[in-house]
Each structure stands twice: as structure tokens, then as C-alpha cells.
Structure 1
Amino acid sequence: NNTIGFLGTKQHVVEDSGTGYKSHHRMDLVVSEDRNFRPVDMEFAPDGSLYLIDWHNILIGHMQHNARDPLRDHMHGRVYRITYPSRPLVTPAKIDGATVEELLENLKLPEYRSRYRTRRELRGRAASEVLPKLKKWVGALDKNDPRYEHHQLEALWVSWGLDQVDQYLLRNLLKAKDYHVRAAAVNVVRYTGHQVKDQADLLKQAATDENGRVRLEAIVAASWIGKEKGMPVLEEAAKKPLDEWMIHAYETAVAHLNDKPVLAYKEEKIISSLKGEDLALYKKGKEIFAMDGYCGTCHQPDGKGLPASGFPPLAGTKWVTGNEERLIKVVLKGLLGPIDINGRKYPGQVPMTPFEGLLNDEEVAAVLTYVRNSFGNAASVIQPATVKKVRESVQSKKDFYAPEALLKEHPLEP
């Protein structure tokens, strides 16, 4: 839903993409020329029609400064029911007053909300009545049905909802052909340690799965079961590549099991890998980075920058972890002009401050050592002698570096 500029509701398609997802715009589902149109929510009804809630107000948003604005209408709004005239609606599933057998058949319906409401109803029935019939229903499922594993998963959720998870079914679904089903089964393992005695072993096995989505579920679940059982699961998961969707969950889980904030734990790991003068440089660099008006002001304490304001990140870019001389030149002379960082273009209209006259060789080496080994970065330590050598070589340059010109001298690493 959008209420500023474009007034309406956009439909996006969400698709699997590796461990995570990607989306793309499919169509503008609803477009209004009414300047007071304020779509705020939507829900599908049991018959498949779409209900759209329109706050309908001259005001936009819930900002405090207009909380008592007389134009703020607390009493009225609009509800739209959207259908496709040439297509029939769905016959609502029978849920209230349905028998257990009827409810179980509802679990085969394609409509998610009908299945969800059915599970809610089954959860309120007596387990002694539901579970025997559930087992019989699963046994009668057609194994050649393309949705066979999904029907089994629905049954697993029903048993979980009754707090008597079907462990035979659970173990079978952890080996399902469809990785979506395996991942969902791992999620059930996460919450049922009070019943599944070999919970940690099952999670450790899931951490070796060929699919990243399944491993991600195991990583998240490991954070719930304590350090003694959880760390072996995480160690197993770390044996395979951790992509952008997994690394943050992994780092958070490890830090949580060690009872530390994520940033503190990551810094401890870095410090443990640095010794002597290198460690001293790192610690000094951290102090310089945090000084008012220096690096952290634009690039932020987490190194992620402020992309919307034109300040690029320091995390995960070869501009920081790559060629030492190129990075030193940037810090000494500053940078001005368009630049591409991690696939995003920055206009570079606000130049980077040249620190040539603000930091000596040791201080430049220190802050660069810090940024090259923080925010998920891991690169070589910058030595003061290297900074001194580069400083002497660019002493005659009186202006900013342009990214394009600097890359001609030092091409960006692949």
C-alpha cells in the first residue's frame, strides 16, 4: 500500500532466491485519483474476495505533530470488496460445526487462510479425538499426489498445535524431497525440545543439509537450546558457506549462546586474531573512527553508511579490504565524484574529507586497520611505514581523487 505520490496498492511476486527471496513488481492492483485515499490493510475473505481497508483522510501517516488535528477522523473510513467479475468465487470451507474428518479434508484446500482457520479449529478440539483420526488420515493420503509432502506437513502442524507432536511424521519430513518441507520441519523441532529428546542431534543433522534455507532454520533453532547443545550445531553449519541471509543469523546465534552482544562478540574474535602492535593499532583506530566529525559520522558505527543520504558502507567492499595503497590515497586526499559500491551507485556530490592534515601516519594506519577488520571485514593490517611511503608519493597532488581516476591506477579486485 502506498499513500504518498502513487495512491494505491501494488502487487509484488515473491520468489525463492537461494537461501532467501527476491521480489518483483507484477502490477498495480488498485489505483485511485482520490487524494484522500489511504489504503492501510487488506485481507482475503473465505470466498476468495479481497477486502481493502481505506482509512480515507486528508492527513497522511500518524505523526505526533498532527495527533490533535481536527481533520483527523477517528470515526469513518471505507472498506472495499474486490472481486474478478468473470471468475467464480471460492465456496467457503465448512469449519464451524464441521466434524474432525471434514476438518482434516480442509487441510488439502489450496487457500492458505482456510487451512489456517481449520488448524485453529482442530487445536481447540480434544486431542484424544483428533490424533487417532489424524493418523488414519495421513495413512490414507495418496503418495503420488504432488502435494503429498505438504499434506503431511499440515498434519504435523496439527499434532504440534495439540502439543503432542507426531515424532514419526516429524522425522520423515526432515528427510522430505521438498526443501520447503524440510525447513518447516526443522522449525517444528526448534519449538518441541520438551518432547523431542534428540532435538540437538536432529538440528545438527539439518545443519548439514544441501539447501541453505534448511540450514538457516537449524542456525536459528540452535540459539534456543543453550550453549552446550547449540554451539555444535552452529559449528556444523559454519562448515558450509554462509551467504548474506545466513551470516547475520549465525553471528547473532553465536553471540547469544555466549551471552554477549553481537558487535562485542565479533570484536572479541577480531582482537583474538591480532597481536602486539597490530592489536594496539586496531584499538587506536577504533577510537579515531568514533571521533566526532571523523569516519563514523558518515559511515556510521556499524559501517553500513547512510545510503539514502549518499554515504556508502565500509562493510563488505573491496574499496576497504582490497589494495592498501588505493585505500590510503582515498583517506589522505579525499574522494569526489560518482562511485559504485557493492552494486549501488552513489553520486559523490558530498566529497570525502581529506585527512592528510588531520591524521599522522600512525593514526591513518590505525583507523584503516580498524575498518579493514570490523563490520564483517577481514583484511591485512596497514603499517605506518606504508602510509608514510604513500603520503610522500602523493604529496604534490592538491585536489581530491576521482573514483574513476583512482581505479585506473589501482583496478578494483574481482
Structure 2
Amino acid sequence: MRGRRPRSTHTTWFSIFLDTRCPCLVRGKGERMGLELVVQALKVQLALVVAMCAATGIHADEPVPGERIVLIGNGLAHRMQYFPHFETQLHRQFPNSGVVMRNLGRPGDTSGFRPHASRETPWAFPGAELFHPGKQHRGEGQFPSPDEWLSELQADTIFAFFGFNESFEGELGLANFRAELTAFVEHTLSRSYNGESPPRLILVSPTPFEDLSATRALPDGVRENERLSAYTDTIAAVATDMNVEFVDVFSPMLSRYEFAETPLTINGFSLTGEGYRALAAILRSAVYGEDPQAVNSGAGPLYDAVKDKNWHWLNDYGMLNDIHVYGRRVEPFGVENYPEEIIKIRQMTTLRDARIHELARGADAAPVNDEAQTLALSEIETNFNLPIEFLDVQRAIDRFELPEGFEIDLFASESEFPELRNPVQMSFDNRGRLWVAVAPSYPHWRPGDDKPDDKLLIFDDADRDGRADSVSVFADGLHLPFGFELASEGVYLAQQPNLVLLADDDGDGRADRREILLHGFDSHDSHHAISAFAADASGAIYMSEGVFLHSQVETPYGPQRGVDGGVWRFDPRTWRLERFIQTSFSNPWGFVFDEWDQPFVADASPGDNWWGLPLSVRTLHGGKTTKYAQFTT
């Protein structure tokens, strides 16, 4: 037993403000209290806390040794993995606690609807389907359910982040949201994920919408915050009714926005690194008490170690290409190699927990030695035994059948440029240089190997003889960059499950800033994930997506969801994302525009080619537009 803290049966946390810059906490009865009563209660509670701290030397809510904390919920939780200030601050505040934290957040998730392409059902608990009657799901496989993951992780404490996606249903959706959240709480408290007792459940409100409309084509946040405030109140009411803890981060983050020198979000709702630092301080002090030293959670050995642990955890819970691990393609080969790889990646993640604990205690922790301390993977015999013939240039050219007046020649090859391995997309810039994304890590990273090092290359034909003379690396350390689009502000690039912007701020020809813009593009089958990027005349970017996938992407205008094949359209100026095409595609790896800006889609598996406009009819969630005839017929 890890010394589990018994769940409170009579108290609820409320975040209040005595000063716009000073969030304080009161532990009070479920009823609402007027300001005077709150101040009086605060004085009493403060005296009790001071006396208790003086007697024990610890805060009342210090984590128990080895406490296992799990974050669940929407994109607010998911994005914390990339900016792990909360976990870092917790380790700084309680360096001897040995806390273990895992993140199960997924963009677009609600408390009841959590689809996954390798799972038969999208419902998080029995009865959740009653709250989302219009949602469709075509998952197939054995990916663990939310309950199974929480049991695997032996969750003692659960932070639940819900309300943002649901808020776009407005006032009409409040009753349904309250009923769904109540059912989730009831279900969660009926479980003993750690094998001993119900979890400590902490409901966390959504953050407010930041007004960036003065400089960007985004909403001003007025209506958004009216909705978010109403949903925050509903979460508080559920917490009161169900006697669980609640943290209001909406109110204090609204104050942080007001006094911040630079924006704390990139699009009104997705927090920056500094935004997550502020959120972490609010969340941590609300649950575990204030500690000024813990706020210093920026770059450093501890922060970097937490980030590295999160990278390995993401390659377990959110592994790319899991269709071969849990899904419909697990047979016949997935059952041979992936069970060992799952064991190994979890051992690697656990080793990184231990290193984090050493760094938190101030030890000079050595880098993890995965090779010596984790399972050695068995050799897997290849099932490919055919001869491979590489044609020389002239023999390859002789095999082409070209229309009259056309000719073809070799511009660059792997024999001249070893970096040119597994090219997946190319595009010319306005200087005549050829940009090529290469993915030697395909189909995905294997635990124990070096971290992926796919690249975005630039080939230059300086003497204009039709052959590349040199190559430079714009970005490395990538993983499966199956699509990219050049723009004045940088390069939009697929990094499953994210869309990122690579920017060369100092003009040296290499990306020195990587900003994660959108999360939630499904990576269930890695070669089906967003790819074949193309831009229309307005600058909007089209991203093709193949069959089997269940993407959920959060935007300033609400969550956007796709089931199976289709094409996304993203406008970087307004941050609008829409499902431009939703139809029966297998691998739509070709997307082009003609001189009238009409779109055409090539579906690689059947070799079909389609005019895009007739397929762009808006459908309900999971619906598919009917196809009638190819434009080539």
C-alpha cells in the first residue's frame, strides 16, 4: 500500500480571488458563500494550516510516497506533455515523494466519448452512448479501454480536464454535459484502479479564451468565455453534488492573460510554454499548496528529463502505427515482435521516472542506459526474400512512356546524396530549390533504437543544369514527415499526431523554432496519416488522410472530427480547420489544383482519380459523400 489518502466525504475545493493577481484557496462546504463568509473562512483555514504546517513541517496535501497521478481529458491535458511544467513543479516542491505521473489526455475527448481506431467502442463507461447519440465509430482491435489504462497505471489520483469541447454546444448543451460528467464521476468513484481504493478525483475547469483579435483573425473571446464560464460553473456544481475536488483555473488564468506581457496562447486557447507554466502554478498550489521555489520549472535537467520521459510514454500510449500492435493488422506479424517492444518501452519509461526522482533530490543523475537495463529484443526474421534490383539512370529512363514533347531526367539520387532515403513529398520554392521530406524511420520508431532522425532537405541546382549540386538540412530529428507546405512564415509539416510550423527566425537556412499548432490527427496507421499537403490560392493548406483513422482536432471554433478517409482544409490565418472531403478513400496520396483552383485527388491503392469539388459536401460525423465517376473516365 502506498499510504493512500482517503477521499474527502464532505469538502470541495474552490478557487477564489482576494486580489486579481493572488489566487487563494478555501476548503469549504458545498454551498456557495458570500465574500464576507469566504474571507472569514479563509482566516480560520489559514490559521489551521499555519498551525498544522508548524507542527508537521509539511503541507496538508503533500503527495503520499510513490503516488501515481494520471491526467485524463482533452487537448489541454494532452498538450501538457510537451510543456511539462506541472510535473516538474511538483517534483521541485516534493523532491522526495517519488511521484509518478502519466498523461492519458487526447484532443477532442469528453468524459464519455473517447474514440480510438484500435478499439471496438468509443465509450469510456457503460451508458456514455446516451449522451452522444449522433457519434459514429468504426474502430477495430484490442486497444485498452480508459478503465484498463487506469488500472494498468494503478491510478491513485486522477486530474480530469473536460468542458472545452463540450462548451461549443452552448447553453443548450449544459444539461447533457452535467449529466455526462455526473455519470463519469459516479463510474470513476466506483472503481479501484490501484487495487485498493477509489481514486482521488479532481475535476479541472477549462482555461479561458484569450483575446488575440487585435493582431490575428481570431475571435475576441467574449462569447467563448461566456460559454466557458457557464461550463466551469457546471463542473463546480457536479463536484459539489458528488463530493469531489474541483479546481477553477478559468478565473485565475483570465487574470494571467490580462497582466501577461506576451500572449499565453497561440490561438486563443492552446497555451504556450509560459501559459503552461502559469497554469501549473495555479493547479499545483490549488491542490498541493504554494511553494515559490517550485514555480521555477523552465528549461534545465529536471524539466528536460520529464520531457524525455513524456516522449517515451507517448510512444507507448500514443504510439504511431498501432494498427499493427492493437488493431486490425496485428495478425500475422504484430503478435511476434510488438509484445516485447511494449515491455521494453515501459521499462524505458520507468527508468526515466527513476532518473527524474534522482534529479529532484539534487543528485547528479547519469543518463539512462536502456541497452543494459531493459529487455533485449529478439531477432525477427524478415518475410521479404525477393531480389532487389536498382536500375541505373539510363535503364530507368528507358522504361518511361512519355507524351510527345516531354522528357525526363534524374535530378538527385540516393547514390549521390545518402540523405535522400525514403522521400515522401517534394516541392519547389520560389528560388527554384527542391525541398524533399525523407522518412527513413518509416513505418515507425522501434524502442531501443536511436530517436528518429527524419529530415526536411533542400536541394539546390546552382548552375541550372537540371541536376542538384548540393543539399542542406532545413530540419532534422523529425518523425514521419509525410506532408509539408512552404509559406512565408515557415514550413507547415506533419508530425503525427500533430501539425507543426518550422520557422527559420535567424535566416541561416535551418529551422530554429518548432511550434505545435494542431493536435489530434490520427496516427493509427502511419502511412494513412495526414500527407500530400497542397495549398490553394488563398493560402489554405489541404491535408489528405486515409482509411481506418479517427481524428479529433481542437480549434478555436470547436472540435473537428473525421472518421476514415478524407481531406482536411486548414486556414493558418484564421486557424479554421474543416473536413473538406469525407468519403471512401484508401490512401489519397495525391492532391493538386488546376489553373482554376479546382482540386483533384488521387487515391493510390485502387489507382482512382477524383474531382474534389463534388466530394466536398458537408456530412454528419462519420458520414461519407457518395462518389460517382472519376474525372479521367
Question: With structure 2 as the length reference, what TM-score do the two structures score?
Answer: 0.22
The one of the two structures with greater contact order (alpha-carbon pairs below 8 A, sep at least 6) is 2
Q: Report the structure, 1 or 2, having the larger helix content.
A: 1
Higher Cα radius of gyration = 1
